[in-house]
Amino acid sequence: MEIVTAHLEQWMRDYYFSTDIDIGSSGVENFSMAELRSLVDLEADAIDKVVFNDSPSCGADGLRRAIAERWGNGDPERVMTTHGSSEIIFLVMQALLRRGDEVVVLDPCYHALRNIAAAIGCELKHWKLRFEDNFVPDIAAIKKLITPRTRMVVVNFPHNPTGATITREQLEELVDAVSAVQAYLVWDSAFAELTYDSEPLPDPSLVYNRCITLGTLSKGYGLAGLRVGWCFAEPELLNQFVHLRDYTTLYLSPLLEVVAQRAIEKADVLLRMRLERARLNLDILNKWLADHQDDVRWVRPRGGVTIFPELRRVDDVDQFCHRLAREYGAMVVPGSCFKQPSHIRLGFGGPTLELQDGLLRLAALLRVCAGEKIATSNYDSHPPIPVH
Ligand SMILES: Cc1ncc(COP(=O)(O)O)c(C=O)c1O
């Protein structure tokens, strides 16, 4: 299988570890083990009791039950845990797609949701979220894209990077359209509980048996480095994913499972802290953006902790982002990682002081670029000085 570079991950490798300020990531501030243990009452003893046995392929019973009780219908048999939701995206596409299959996918979207299907040789049809429409999803448009040939529809709401989402009614319409042609629906709910003006959406795999719903501890719960994700699906589908997993990671470490289970049982505590801060940060961002309207045009997010603004007066946004990282020590993600090169992904889920500092640095470089542009255009507009 030939697969294109995951530009977003390459960008992160280049700058996540070498910059002081992260205003590009799509998650909230991560907890330390000590913070987590005290927030979720995880005794050292529980960790000491872990024996490094093999674990079941779909995950330890207690962990599956905790996931099913919090996000599903209580049935652990419909849960499979993986190393982040990245792993399950890979397994789902490898198990269910073949060359030539028609797949409808959001554009822009998180690279794995598109690139794996493309690498398998599927024919991709793009459901576009358009900046000029304020990134509002057009359900009528996706209904037109879905045909009897459609094998899979892949969506992610709240959406990375735009923060767009759909309503409950629109989700029902979407499920109806997908089920009418008996396609698979991959519902990536990585940001499910990070919402600002609506309740989290219900899990469509509870009403449609060809739906696979993805979740993760990486985004809203401050546990990205724990690498725990999951999916909900019918047990027959999970068996197909396990078949492939036998050749990759086999199962999660029992150590991760103990930590993840307790974190999920107390997920409200973690979520409340981070969502409260995200709301505060969003207000700060809103004010900053109002002060920088000439440079930055944006759409207010309805969920997640990223926005996808356009830099109006920067000619080469990729270079701008490199410069911001190298000279100003702040990381944002260039929109080219999502195939929209005049945009950036700006993350506001981190510590408030870090966001404020990052915005100062971003503003400083925007000012410098505006100055350079004026200087260059002055130069350009003058006739060359004659040389005698
Ligand atoms: C929409 C979406 N899905 C899935 C993932 C994968 O995350 P993880 O593997 O950490 O669960 C990401 C990561 O950014 C994402 O944005």
| Structure tokens, 253 | 């470490």
Please indicate whether residue 24, judged by its CB atom, sits closer than 6 Å to ligand 1: no
- Nearest atom within ligand 1 for CA of residue 83: 9
Radius of gyration of the chain measured on its C-alpha atoms: 22
Ligand 1 center to 161 CA (angstroms): 11
Q: What is the pLDDT of residue 38?
A: 98
Q: Which residues pair with 215 in a beta bridge?
A: 230
Q: What length is written for the chain?
A: 388
| Structure tokens, 359 | 């915005």
Please indicate whether residue 205, judged by its CB atom, sits closer than 6 Å to ligand 1: no
Ligand 1 center to 224 CA (angstroms): 9
Q: What is the pLDDT of residue 388?
A: 34
**The overall pTM is greater than 0.75:** yes
Q: What is the pLDDT of residue 387?
A: 36
CB 317 within 8 A of CB 285: no
Q: What is the pLDDT of residue 356?
A: 98
Q: What ranges in the chain are assigned the alpha helix state H?
A: 7-15, 33-39, 44-48, 61-71, 84-96, 111-120, 139-145, 168-180, 235-245, 254-265, 267-291, 317-328, 352-381
Q: What is the pLDDT of residue 377?
A: 62
Please indicate whether residue 105, judged by its CB atom, sits closer than 6 Å to ligand 1: no
User: 144-172 burial, b for 16+ CB within 10 Å, e for fewer?
Assistant: ebbeeebbbbbbbbbbbbbbbbbeeebbe
Ligand 1 center to 86 CA (angstroms): 6
Q: What is the pLDDT of residue 371?
A: 87
Separation between Cα atoms, residue 135 and residue 167, nearest integer Å? 14
Separation between Cα atoms, residue 149 and residue 28, nearest integer Å? 39
Separation between Cα atoms, residue 308 and residue 299, nearest integer Å? 7
Ligand 1 center to 50 CA (angstroms): 28
Separation between Cα atoms, residue 310 and residue 131, nearest integer Å? 9
What is the secondary structure of 160-190 as a DSSP string?
A: TTT-----HHHHHHHHHHHHHTT-EEEEE-T
Separation between Cα atoms, residue 271 and residue 304, nearest integer Å? 12
Separation between Cα atoms, residue 162 and residue 208, nearest integer Å? 27
CB 220 within 8 A of CB 275: yes
Q: What residue ranges of the chain have pLDDT lower than 70?
A: 374, 376-388
Please indicate whether residue 188, judged by its CB atom, sits closer than 6 Å to ligand 1: yes
Please indicate whether residue 190, judged by its CB atom, sits closer than 6 Å to ligand 1: yes
Separation between Cα atoms, residue 214 and residue 72, nearest integer Å? 11
Residue nearest to atom 3 of ligand 1 (CA): 190
CB 255 within 8 A of CB 52: yes
The residue written with tokens 């799509």 in the block is: 26
Please indicate whether residue 171, judged by its CB atom, sits closer than 6 Å to ligand 1: no
Burial label, 253 (beta-carbon count in 10 A; 0-12, 13-18, 19+): middle
Separation between Cα atoms, residue 304 and residue 275, nearest integer Å? 10
Q: CB within 8 A of 323, min separation 6: which ones?
A: 365
- Nearest atom within ligand 1 for CA of residue 217: 11
Please indicate whether residue 220, judged by its CB atom, sits closer than 6 Å to ligand 1: no
Q: CB within 8 A of 352, min separation 6: which ones?
A: 277, 280, 281, 284
Residue type, position 332, single letter = V
For a mutational test of ligand 1's pocket, the pick from 86, 89, 333, i.e. the residue with the most ligand atoms closer than 8 A to its C-beta, is: 86
